[in-house]
Amino acid sequence: MIDIDRIRSDFPFLDRRIDGQPVIYLDSANTSQKPRQVIDAMSDFLRDGYAPINRSAYRMAAAATDAYEGARAAIAQFIGAASPDEVVFTRNATEALNMFAQGWTRAHLSAGDAVVLTHMEHHANVVPWQMMAAERGIQLRWIPLTTDGHLDLTDLDRLLDGAKVLSFTAMSNVLGTLNPVRKLCDAAHAAGAIAMVDACQSVPHSVTDVTAMGADLCAFSAHKMLGPSGIGALW
């Protein structure tokens, strides 16, 4: 059984009363509240351990660097990455998605190359590709939805035919739909495309193993899984 009272006691925000009523927070898929363990770790660092990272050799800086790189190693382990070197810290998932969509695309795609997206993407996985379509003439193709909110994969092979990228969400932020990540990554690879997974909602909600997912890249954010805002990752 989940001990709700014990979990609530981790979140100082939930001790508040608004208009005399206890707070019930239902917006965690948007951004989560922070437990006291995270608040304490952040304020401990700012109060007692703040120093530059990867820029100085004195003792405080070395300790701060170890903590920072230790976080990268913890994230790598959390998502089943082979090495911390595979984890690039970004400001959020939006930046991670843009880093790939704009960085890689500018170097590797040209007019007429196709990128496949789905109709359940968050704006963060749509706008960067629309920008690339406008700038580079990249062709966008869309996997439609069924009436019950799943991906309609009837035409997947045709949509992927000749495509260079399939970029899709593992879990819809609107519908909660869980997409068949492995199947989609395998289909992308069979068509010679790179598979980018927006794992912003799935990493907080389920055990993540990027190797088992079969993805090439994966984007997610700390602020949706109890961590601070201002940091995310591109694997």
Which parts of this chain interact with ligand PLP (CB under 6 A)? Answer: 30, 92-94, 122, 124-125, 169, 173, 198, 200-201, 221, 232
Q: How far is the CB of 179 from ligand PLP (least distance, A)?
A: 11
Residue 14 DSSP label: G
Token pair listed for 214 = 């079969």
Spatial distance between the Cα atoms of 164 and 161, rounded to a whole number of angstroms? 9
Nearer to ligand PLP, 50 or 142 (CB): 142
Nearer to ligand PLP, 28 or 43 (CB): 28
Q: Is residue 229 a contact partner of residue 208, using CB atoms and an 8 Å limit?
A: no
Q: How far is the CB of 119 from ligand PLP (least distance, A)?
A: 13
- Per the DSSP assignment, residues forming a β-bridge with 165 are 115, 194
**Distance set, CA 79 to CA 14, 52, 75, 211, 235 (Å):** 29, 27, 6, 9, 9
129-143 CB burial, b ≥16 within 10 A, e <16: beebeeebebbebeb
Q: How far is the CB of 96 from ligand PLP (least distance, A)?
A: 8
Spatial distance between the Cα atoms of 194 and 217, rounded to a whole number of angstroms? 8
Q: How far is the CB of 116 from ligand PLP (least distance, A)?
A: 17
Nearer to ligand PLP, 118 or 169 (CB): 169
Q: How far is the CB of 101 from ligand PLP (least distance, A)?
A: 12
Nearer to ligand PLP, 191 or 208 (CB): 208
Scan for tokens 């990228």, then name that residue.
Answer: 165
Spatial distance between the Cα atoms of 150 and 190, rounded to a whole number of angstroms? 22
Nearer to ligand PLP, 32 or 105 (CB): 32
Nearer to ligand PLP, 191 or 197 (CB): 197
Token pair listed for 53 = 């990272």
Q: How far is the CB of 54 from ligand PLP (least distance, A)?
A: 23
